[in-house]
Amino acid sequence: MESLLIKGGVPLEGEVWISGAKNAALPIMAAALLTPEPCIIHRVPNLSDVRFMAQILNWLGASVTFKDGTLRIEARKIKGYGDYDLVRKMRGSICIMGPLLGRLKRARVSLPGGCVIGARPINLHLKGFEALGAKITIEGGYVQASARRLVGSAMFLGGRAGSTVLGTANVMMAATLAEGVTVIESAACEPEIVDLAKFLNAMGAKITGAGSPTITITGVKELHGAEHELIPDRIEAATYAIAAAATDGEVTIKGARADHMHAVLDKLEEAGVSVVRRGPDLIVSRKGRLRPVDVTTLPYAGFPTDVQAQMMALMTLAPGISIITERIFESRFMHVSELARLGADIEIEGPSAIVKGGRPLSGAPVMASDLRASAALVIAGLAARGTTQVNRVYHIDRGYENIDGKLRQLGARIQRIEDT
């Protein structure tokens, strides 16, 4: 197993290019199942989650090639439904269900199960499929959706934490090939949903309202191949912006979309971080001392849950009390105990973490748990005095392309080592 060895205390300086968005790539890859014609997707990040999704599509019968950031997917004939035990290994692959239901009128996948950040139910996905006329059965750890015909209808997909991103993606994809009009109320508004709708429309779908809480899909008979370039990864961009602030450096973030990052950039500025927009570039540096801020995660366009851990790492450096409240997932504080090993003073009170910031961090071996918690540990290690070893770095490789290479380019003393 690999680890990242970090010698902290170096201010990050220079330019970093942001990769294509992982959370746009996964549903868009699944969407290619909706047509027998080839689809070409550019700016695809080389991540383990993306390679795994490519394996799943391959397993389903699609031909998939991935070279220099471009994916070519041709799902000429896809397997009838079969047992996709793979879904359990990567939750995000649940988004193959909508396309399979749309194209084959049936889909059978293993229930994704929970993960370290929460139970990760799919009740809203299934509610949407049923609203399209699918019959849902759950047996032996598998969920099956089947329909003689899919018929568009109006549905409400809001859940206990607001909308569902992959639930919106799944139902939207199935609805493209349903008969009639589907209206999804309380749809997810994330930029990744907008990117997926753009790709589906390029394939001949008829979708309006993506990016708003009401998405309308007028079903068509079939979809054709399309070519698409992914949006940049707003979570990766936020992670590097926070790393720049945490190390008191100055980093130019290239290829990001500031208009996808308002909540994060606003919160960083409130915390005393300078964010200067120069054309498409973002120049991030610290303007003197960091200030403590309160953060609550919300569905888009609120502060993203995927940046909560990274923001907490930054707040351990801001003298004073910051309150970080997680409203999307029920247990997304795995990083708290690991940050404490670096000297952070954080207490959990229900959905909130109370960060008493300002004490310098000192390096120690820490354990990565989920993708974004691991990124938070890297940020803390970069800011800490001494050496930090982040173990189980495979978590990070799921969502960050070449993170050690990109950080080295910014002057970080970081190397990937084989864990003895």
Catalytic residue ranges: 115
Q: What's phi and psi for 352, nearest 5 deg? A: -115, 150
What is the nearest approach in angstroms of ligand EPZ to the Cβ of residue 241? Answer: 17
Nearer to ligand EPZ, 297 or 389 (CB): 297
Q: Which of the ranges 113-121, 219-227, 283-291, 338-346 carries the binding residues for ligand EPZ, by CB under 6 A? A: 113-121
20: contact with ligand EPZ by CB under 6 A: no
118: contact with ligand EPZ by CB under 6 A: yes
Q: For residues 303 and 332, what is the distance between their CA atoms, to the nearest angstrom?
A: 14
Strands 63-67 and 70-74: antiparallel
3-class DSSP state of 75: coil
Residue from 372, 389, 391, 414 in contact with ligand EPZ (CB under 6 A): 372
**CA distances for 302 relative to 83, 267, 402, angstroms:** 37, 11, 28
CB atoms within 10 A of CB 366: 28
Give the binding-site size for ligand EPZ (rule: CB under 6 A).
26
Residue from 186, 305, 369, 388 in contact with ligand EPZ (CB under 6 A): 305
Q: Which of the ranges 120-128, 133-141, 339-347, 378-386 carries the binding residues for ligand EPZ, by CB under 6 A? A: 120-128
Q: For residues 143 and 140, what is the distance between their CA atoms, to the nearest angstrom?
A: 8
Within 86-105, the residues that bind ligand EPZ by CB under 6 A are 92
Q: For residues 94 and 78, what is the distance between their CA atoms, to the nearest angstrom?
A: 17
What x-and-dash track marks residues 233-252 binding ligand EPZ by CB under 6 A?
--------------------
Nearer to ligand EPZ, 213 or 386 (CB): 213
- CA atoms within 13 Å, Cβ hemisphere of 16: 35
Which tokens go with 84? Answer: 């996709």
Sheet holding 365-367, edge to edge: 365-367, 387-391, 2-7, 413-418
386: contact with ligand EPZ by CB under 6 A: no
Residue from 328, 336, 355, 375 in contact with ligand EPZ (CB under 6 A): 328
Q: What's phi and psi for 66, nearest 5 deg? A: -135, 110
The site for ligand EPZ (CB under 6 A) is made up of 22-23, 26, 92, 118-125, 159-161, 164-167, 305-306, 328-329, 371-372, 399
